[in-house]
Chain A
């Protein structure tokens, strides 16, 4: 089918090739020469077995050169190269067999020396097959590339494992007492020649990383008292860098060279060291905070590490999680949470002065604290130093400052700095303020604090008995301190309360001077004291007489004022004269009232007793009061809620029974309703408003109600709280809701 043209073309090609190979020799002499030269050249670069002799022993050097030159002239060298590589490929199974053998041995014994031997064996093959350098760089580099490619394809994952282990065995031991193993320079050279260093760079690096990790964790976990970063860097210089030099700096002749070579890898290792330490400290952060201030060193480290590695988000995340798990649960004491919160503030201020981290971590704690009913009480009692349990939250060294108000940003400030980049949208650049301001700012307003403070103060002042002016003085002192923080105006009521105390003393002195009486009342100004629980006991018998006489004298002294007794607060010192014995004791007024009644009649039922002192006394309280007397052996329970007086001590009754609640009940603080109860009281007022607006304006959505309630003085509930309240009102059947519109239940 071939056309003439094609035929002619093939003939021309053939002629051309022939001429090239024949080298213009007559006949086919040139062709024969070429054939010989090809055979010699091929034979001498043929990949041989390790025990075969070197080609130089068979042919002399000039013959080679002549053959290669001839081949070169005929432009057949590329073909020769391909043939060579092909030959090599054919011999590879031999190597593979050996590799398999060695790795198998390693797998069996886990002895890295097999891997080492394998590497050396490979090196032998490599050197054996390496074409002579006279043959040109092209041939050599082609060989290296091809050889390495084939080797890598043969090496199994087992080898990689062994290789890693081998590298690890060259590391300096973390125990400084044993000396480092002798550096095996030959081995590293073999690695390099075979291209293993480049190929397994990651593995070698991971060996280094793991070494660093192990060192950091085993030596520095739980060591928070001092900064360890410097020590760690020194360790790196002394131990890890020499090791790195083996790999990365072998070719360096001068130290400058070495430094340049290590720059890149060194900074990677340093980064890894910082990251490891940072991870470790992040994991320990909760306990570090607990240990503060003994853990300052660790915090310094963490600060520096965070500069180097960007793990801030991780730190926040870890700490929040730890807080959630270990701190913010019902089992933790409020005091404890506060202490930890304060420690957190201090610690994170060390790590991150601008306070972004703190803001992110503190948020859940603050939210949680806001929900705890006793937070305010805890803070206040701590502020006034009235806490027996543990250290005060606030150092005495910290200067007492007025509370900071959140200020608007001052852009004219020449030292103004923008917010840090990772600050959230509602991050407030809170200027470094003192701990107390931070604690108080948990709540939106400090009014709550002031109110709670009043309640606490009231409780404590009322528990002061006469001649105990030292206590009052102590309260005065703590109020003075708090005044600096909260401002004069806020604590005005407290001031009045304290003044009431001293005034009472004065008035009492005056009344006593006219007509001595055993009654020493504390006269308080109703408006300035928190609401006191009003159980109205009507004191019977002599007590009432005493009260009335005192009141009369008081009103002559201060005609414009009137005494309203709160007889349930206070204590009574009694001396009971019974037929066979006298009992002297301090009791609360209810107890005194009951025993007074027993002086009129010897047997009472509890209900009758309660009727006598005014029916506002609940049964539990009455029973407790009666049992106090039973414990003292004055009364005897006859069963059926009937009690009788023991004029003559009961034989059984006088056996000293542990006086149960006497000590306690006398010491118990008079109760003033907490802020929460007062809030419930407040809500009743707001209900009137809601009722009023719903009566007159028909039906309203909750938003409108919320807005309208602003008309009510002091209304500070959120719309959510209002919603809850409305829902409660609905359950009581006061209102109905339809499509979010509330109205009064039709009559």
Chain B
């Protein structure tokens, strides 16, 4: 019963918790792991097409590997990108760090480091977001780049007419990865 009520309870506001979070990070680790476990469960059960993620190992829930398939109808259709997700110890009050491991030629993605420019991963982050929502956002970002603040200006300029160029930098996920 307790479990149900606690998981149904709205996430606490980040502001009121920031101070206590730092001091009690030790005790918080358990609840973070619990939240991550729940998110994993939800993600596994949701079966949203084309997105998926899983912890790298069973001992560390804070490092995940994710896979995003390009949505059909976009230039990325039929391609799949591997991403890494790192959760901070005070997740979900702080956004996870997400990077593309597969080089992605995209206006909002740095092709060398894989860094992503997405508002909900930076200043618009909220504790109600979850791995699943992030992955869905990323998937839609692939099809609809936010060209106003590009990380990869080259890609931004070629975006409109030279879609084929996008493919130049793509390497499929090899067996060894």
A713 to B38, CA, bound (A): 9
Q: A685-B45, A711-B37, A713-B41 are in contact. Are A696 and B54 (CB under 8 A)?
A: yes
Q: How far is the CA of A699 from the CA of B174 in the complex (A)?
A: 12
> Which of B45, B54, B175 contacts A697 (CB under 8 A)?
B54
Given A697-B65, A698-B177, A689:B56 Cβ within 8 A = no
* B13-49 to A contact mask, C-beta < 8 Å, 1/0: 0000000000000000000000001001101110100
Q: How far is the CB of A691 from chain B (nearest CB, A)?
A: 8
Q: Is A693 engaged at the interface, CB distance under 8 Å to the other chain?
A: yes
Contact of A654 with B by CB under 8 A: no
Q: Is the CB of A708 within 8 A of B58?
A: yes
Contacts of B40 in A (CB 8 A): 692, 711
Contacts of B37 in A (CB 8 A): 711, 713
Known A688-B47, A708-B58, A710-B58; contact A695-B41, beta-carbon cutoff 8 A: no
- Chain B residues near A693 (CB-CB < 8 A): 54
* Contact A707–B44 (Cβ < 8 Å): no
Residue numbers in B under 8 Å from A707 (CB-CB): 57-58
A window 680-694: CB within 8 A of B? 685, 688-689, 691-693
Q: Which residues of B contact A527 (CB under 8 A)?
A: 4
Cα–Cα, bound, A527→B4 (Å): 11
B41→A692 contact, CB < 8 A: no
| Residues on the B chain within 8 Å of A696, using CB | 52-54, 64-67, 82
Let me know if B67 and A689 touch, CB within 8 A: no
Q: How far is the CA of A692 from the CA of B43 in the complex (A)?
A: 9
Cα-based distance from A707 to B55 in the complex (angstroms): 12
> Which residue in B53, B57, B177 is a CB contact (below 8 Å) of A692?
B53
Tell me whether B151 is interfacial, beta carbon within 8 Å: no
A712 within 8 A of B: yes
From B173, which residue of chain A is reached at the shortest CB distance? A698
Q: Are B61 and A698 in contact (CB under 8 A)?
A: no
- A700-714 to B contact mask, C-beta < 8 Å, 1/0: 000000011011110
- Docked CA distance A711–B62 (Å): 13
In chain B, what residue has the closest Cβ to A746?
A: B175
Q: Given A695-B54, A696-B54, A697-B56, verify A688-B67 contact (CB < 8 Å).
A: no
Distance to closest chain B CB from A588 (angstroms): 34
CB of B62 to closest CB in A, whole Å:
13
Tell whether, in the assembled complex, residue B67 and residue A698 are in contact, meaning their CB atoms are under 8 Å apart: no
**Which chain A residue shows the least CB distance to B85?**
A696
Q: How far is the CB of A735 from chain B (nearest CB, A)?
A: 15
Closest to B36 in A: A711
Closest B residue to A688 by CB, please name it: B44
Q: Which residues from chain A contact B53 at a C-beta distance below 8 Å?
A: 692, 696
Contacts of B72-86 to chain A: CB distance below 8 A? 82
Which of B54, B61, B65, B67 has its CB near the most chain A CB atoms (within 10 A)? B54
- A contacts with B, residue count (CB < 8 A): 18
Tell me which of A698, A708, A711 has the highest count of chain B C-beta atoms within 10 A of its own C-beta.
Answer: A711
Main secondary structure of the interface of B (DSSP, over half): mixed
| Assembled-state Cα–Cα distance A697/B4 (Å) | 31
Flag if B67 contacts A695 (CB, 8 Å): yes
| CA–CA, A695 and B54, complex, Å | 8
Chain B nearest CB from A390 CB (Å) reads 40
Q: Tell me if A711 and B45 are in contact (CB < 8 A).
A: no
Q: What's the least CB distance linking A305 to chain B, in Å?
A: 55
State which size class the interface on B falls in.
20 to 34
CA distance A708 to B52 in the complex (A): 15
**Closest Cβ of chain B: how far from A597's Cβ, in Å?**
38
A7-63, CB < 8 A from B: none
Residue of A nearest to B47 (CB): A688
Residue of A at shortest CB range from B174? Answer: A698
Which residues of B lie under 8 Å from residue A692 when comparing CB positions? 40, 43-44, 52-54
Chain B residues with CB below 8 A from A712, complex form: 41, 44
A632 to B41, CA, bound (A): 52
Complex: how many Å from CA A290 to CA B4? 50
Residue of A nearest to B41 (CB): A713
Nearest A-chain residue to B51, judged by Cβ:
A695
In the complex, how many angstroms separate the beta carbon of B54 from the nearest chain A beta carbon? 4
Q: How far is the CB of A447 from chain B (nearest CB, A)?
A: 16
Contacts of B41 in A (CB 8 A): 712-713
Known: A696-B65, A696-B67. A688 touches B45 (CB 8 A): yes
Q: Contact check, A708 vs B55: say whether CB atoms are below 8 A apart.
A: yes
Contacts of B82 in A (CB 8 A): 696
Task: Select which of A691, A698, A711 is within 8 A of B175 by beta carbon.
Answer: A698
Given contact pairs A695-B67, A697-B65, A698-B175, A711 touches B58 in the complex (Cβ within 8 A) = yes
User: B47 — which chain A residues lie within 8 A by C-beta?
Assistant: 688
| Contacting residues of chain B (133-153) with chain A, CB-CB under 8 angstroms | none
Nearest-CB residue, chain B, relative to A496: B1
C-alpha gap A468/B72 in the complex (Å): 60
Q: Which residues of B contact A697 (CB under 8 A)?
A: 54, 56, 65
Residue pair B44, A689 in contact (C-beta under 8 Å): yes
A689 / chain B contacts, CB cutoff of 8 Å? 44, 54
Q: How far is the CA of A689 from the CA of B40 in the complex (A)?
A: 9
Q: Would A695 and B58 count as touching, CB distance under 8 A?
A: no
B interface footprint on A210-233 (CB within 8 Å = 1, 0 otherwise): 000000000000000000000000
Report the minimum CB–CB distance from A319 to chain B (whole Å). 44
Complex CA distance for A692 and B44, rounded to whole angstroms = 7
Considering the chains assembled together, what is the distance between the CA atoms of A22 and B50 in angstroms? 133
Bound Cα distance A711, B54 (Å): 10
A229 to chain B, nearest CB (A): 60
Q: List A contacts of B58 (CB < 8 A).
A: 707-708, 710-711
Which chain B positions have C-beta within 8 A of A708? 54-55, 57-58
Give A693 to B53 CA distance when docked, in angstroms.
7
Report Cα–Cα, A696/B101, bound state, in Å: 12
Q: In whole angstroms, what is the CA distance A138 to B37 when docked?
A: 101
Q: Which residue of A lies closest to B46 (CB)?
A: A688
Query: Distance in Å from the Cβ of B155 to the closest Cβ of chain A?
Result: 26
- Distance between B138 CB and nearest chain A CB, rounded to angstroms: 14
Give the shortest distance, in Å, between B134 (CB) and chain A (any CB). Answer: 14
Q: Which of B61, B65, B67, B177 contacts A711 (CB 8 A)?
A: B61
Contact at A711–B55, with CB atoms within 8 Å? yes
Cβ of A688: which chain B residues have Cβ within 8 Å of it? 44-45, 47
B145 to nearest A CB, angstroms? 24
Chain A proximity of B85: nearest CB distance (Å): 10
* CA A692 to CA B66, docked complex, whole Å: 9
User: Which A residues, 694 to 747, have Cβ-Cβ distances below 8 Å to chain B?
Assistant: 695-699, 707-708, 710-713
How far, in whole Å, are A285 and B56 apart by their CA atoms in the complex? Answer: 57
Which chain B residues lie closer than 8 Å to A713 at the CB level?
A: 37, 41
Q: Which residues of B contact A711 (CB under 8 A)?
A: 37, 40, 55, 58, 61
Give the distance to chain A from B89, nearest Cβ to Cβ, in Å.
18
Residue of A whose beta carbon sits closest to that of B83: A696
CA distance A711 to B64 in the complex (A): 13
Identify 8 new A-B residue pairs, CB closer than 8 A, beyond the known A708-B55, A712-B44.
Answer: A685-B44, A688-B44, A688-B47, A693-B54, A696-B65, A697-B65, A707-B57, A711-B55
Name B residues whose Cβ lies closer than 8 Å to a Cβ of A: 4, 37, 40-41, 43-45, 47, 52-58, 61, 64-67, 82, 175, 177
Q: What would be 20 A-B contacts, judged by CB atoms less than 8 Å apart?
A: A527-B4, A688-B45, A688-B47, A692-B43, A692-B44, A692-B52, A695-B54, A695-B67, A696-B53, A696-B82, A697-B54, A697-B56, A707-B57, A710-B58, A711-B37, A711-B55, A711-B58, A711-B61, A712-B41, A713-B37
Q: Which 5 A-B pairs have the closest CB atoms?
A: A696-B54, A688-B44, A696-B65, A693-B54, A695-B52
